[in-house]
Structure 1
Amino acid sequence: MNILVTGGAGYIGSHTCVSLIAAGHDVIVADNLCNSKIETIDKIEKISGKSIIFYEIDVTEESKVEEIFLKHNIDGVIHFAGLKAVGESVSKPLDYYYNNLVSTMVLSKACIRHRVSKFVFSSSATVYGDNKVPFKEDMPLLETTNPYGETKAMSERILSDISKANEGFSVSLLRYFNPVGAHESGLIGEDPNGIPNNLMPFITQVAKGKLKKLSIFGSDYDTVDGTGVRDYIHVVDLAEGHVKAIEKLEKGINIYNLGTGKGTSVLELVETFKRINNIDVPYEVVDRRPGDIASCYADVSKAEYELGWKAVRTVEDMVRDSWRFEMGV
């Protein structure tokens, strides 16, 4: 298939491009590089051995998206492009609602106009709100706890309504949990612009000495050690889940959790990183972060049964590969 990957120069998008190419598909990347680097495209090409068509555009701009659809015979879209920091979404809600919702509407409109039948959406476990764990795809969604999560929930509703109104438009909503790790080559990984918002790049930059210490947000949650519990999934496992999702996309609306089904606390992740990589990570415990919940992990049985997909990489693999990427090994 010829697949348009929006946000394809980003963390999850770049790994998915590699996995798509390995599975025999061709990719076209659209990315505005607001939180990614153009060098990543070269690295994808180096890993895959194939050249990539790249457009530096913002997919909220309908005319520029239309140009891509006119130039290429696109079979499917995987939509990653979006702002993604929970904390920042609380302080900048308008940016998040505009960027994340408009991009989804612009892309789906182009798909309908050009009869592109396959659409995979990068959703999030945040749509479950502060629900009972493990999160299951068929459970009622509670009110989201931050604007980022709300943009994902609203995008899911938009895509579901569009699919119901357009029989030929099939959608897979992938609710994934906390991606970490990097490609085994060490060439691509999580490389945010500026100070990281996510936990793992913060850990690696502290370990490397680029940042002084790690801030752990909250130690009084009702969890094994008081710190937040998350379902950390290796980004390569996650990327392979996207390949399965678009290859096996059924008619209508399809919803899948992509995680490991196991919760790991922030402190457990930090201690595993220190042990596996034999390096210290100074940290301090600070107040809880707005919009965070205590515990979040997935029931992943549906993806295994319907897609034949299961996460196979361990937390040890995740911290080892993250450090290898940070060190440029």
Structure 2
Amino acid sequence: MNILLTGGTGYIGSHTAVVLANAGHSVVLLDNFCNSNRSVSERINQITNQMIPCIEGDVRDTGLLVKTLTEFKIEAVIHFAGLKAVGESGQEPLKYYDNNVAGSISLLEAMKQVNVKTIVFSSSATVYGEPQYLPYDEEHPLNPINTYGRTKLQVEEILQDLAKSDPQWRITLLRYFNPVGAHESGLIGEDPNGIPNNLMPYIMQVASGKLPHLNIFGNDYDTRDGTGERDYIHVMDLAEGHLAALSFLQNHQGCETFNLGTGKPVSVIELLSAYEQACGQKLPTKLAPRREGDLPIYYAKPNKAKEYLGWMVTRGVADVSTSSYRWQQMRDGLAAS
């Protein structure tokens, strides 16, 4: 199958490109590189031993999308392109609605023009908001508490309306929990600009000496060790979930939603300890006050994905930590050369 990945050189997009290419699909990447690096496409080529086309462009450029979809005879799209920093989304809401919502509409307009009606959408567990019960299943009420989550929910609603309007559309909405880890080669992984928003890349920058210590925001939650617990899913398991979702769509029309998570929450201390074991050193930490809006615990109920997609995670926290450390060593080596 010929598949276009918008945001294809980003963290999740790059790992999914590898999984799809290794499964025999023809992959095309499109990215404006606002939160990724052009060199990622070269490293994807190195991992897959293929020359995967990479188009520089923006999903808001409908004309470019029509040209790309036509030129490469695209049959399905996986839509990763989107801004994702929760804090920034509250400070610059117009930027987020323009990129995430208007960009998605532009993509769907282009797909409609060339009659490509199969899409996997990169959504987020942030659409659920504060838990009314745990674990979150796909029927949990949707009430996002930040701008980023609201942009994801708006795109979900657009896609659901699109599927109702035309039965030819084949759509899956994949709600991610907390992607972590890196490809086993150490050639690609999470590489955020500036100070990381997420726990694992922050830990990695402390380990490499770029940041002085890890702030632990609260140790008095009602959890196993007092620190917050999250559903950390290895990025390669997540990437394989996209392959499974595409396979599902070959035999299913309409719009279906799936949680992609482990179903097993891990605490800040547990993730930190696993990384310390992988890198062989104790990392400096400081206790800080709880952050407003942080939940004590949240995690997925991934049963639906197992039943309908035949997908489940195969990697644990040790795999997350060893692959992240390998990726950190590669990045530090590139920075030193």
Same fold (TM over 0.5): yes
Map of 2:316 onto structure 1:
314
Match of 2:136 in 1: 135
Deviation of the 1:272 alpha carbon: 1.8
- Structure 2, unpaired ranges of 5+: none
Instruction: Say which of 251, 254, 257 aligns to 2:256.
Output: 254
1:212, CA displacement in angstroms? Answer: 1.1
Q: Residue deviations 1:134-162, cap 9 Å, x none? A: 01012222x21111111111111011111
- How much does 1:112 deviate? 1.6
Which residue of structure 1 aligns with residue 192 of structure 2? 192
Deviation at 1:109, TM superposition (A): 1.4
For residue 56 of structure 1, report the CA deviation from its aligned partner: 0.9
- Supply the AA of the counterpart residue of 1:214: L
**3-state secondary structure, aligned to 2:105:** helix
Separation (CA, whole Å) in 2 of partners of 1:239 and 1:298 = 17
Contact 1:27/1:52 (<8 A) preserved = yes
1:279 partner SS: coil
Q: Compute the displacement of 1:107 (Å).
A: 1.0
1:10 aligns with 2:10: yes
Q: Residue deviations 1:275-309, cap 9 Å, x none? A: 23321221223333344322211111111111111
Aligned to 2:283: 281
Residue 57 of structure 1: how far off its partner (Å): 0.8
Cα displacement (A) at 1:121: 0.3
Letter in 2 for 1:215: N
Alignment pair present for 1:154 and 2:159? no
Gaps of 5+ in 1: none
TM-score of the two chains, using structure 2 as the length reference: 0.94
**2:66–2:111 contact (8 Å) kept in structure 1:** no
Q: State how far apart, in whole Å, the 2-side matches of 1:291 and 1:58 are.
A: 32
Inter-partner Cα distance in structure 1 for 2:248 and 2:223: 37
After the TM superposition, which parts of structure 1 deviate over 4 Å for at least 4 consecutive aligned residues? none
Helix, strand or coil: the match of 1:120? strand
User: Per-residue deviation at 1:229?
Assistant: 1.2
Aligned residues: 328
- Whole-Å Cα distance in 2 between the matches of residues 288 and 16 of structure 1? 34
Q: Which residue of 1 aligns with 2:119?
A: 119
Alpha-carbon displacement from aligned partner over 1:209-242 (angstroms, at most 9, x marks no partner): 1111122333343322332211000000100000
Retained in 2: the 8 A contact 1:227–1:265? yes
Alpha carbons 1:76, 1:118 under 8 Å: kept: yes
Greater Cα shift, 19-28 or 58-67: 58-67
Q: For the structure 1 residues 317 and 78, does the alpha-carbon distance in structure 2 shift closer, same or farther, using more than 3 Å as the test?
A: same
Q: Secondary structure at the match of 1:248?
A: helix
Compute the TM-score of the two structures, normalised by the length of structure 1. 0.96
**Structure 1, 213-222 or 53-62: larger mean CA deviation:** 213-222
- Where 1:191 maps in the other structure, the secondary structure is coil
Which runs of structure 2 are paired with 1:11-160 in the superposition (5 Å)?
Answer: 11-131=11-131, 132-141=133-142, 143-160=143-160
**Equivalent in the alignment of 2:233:** 233
Q: Indicate if the aligned counterparts of 2:66 and 2:113 stay in contact, CA closer than 8 A.
A: no
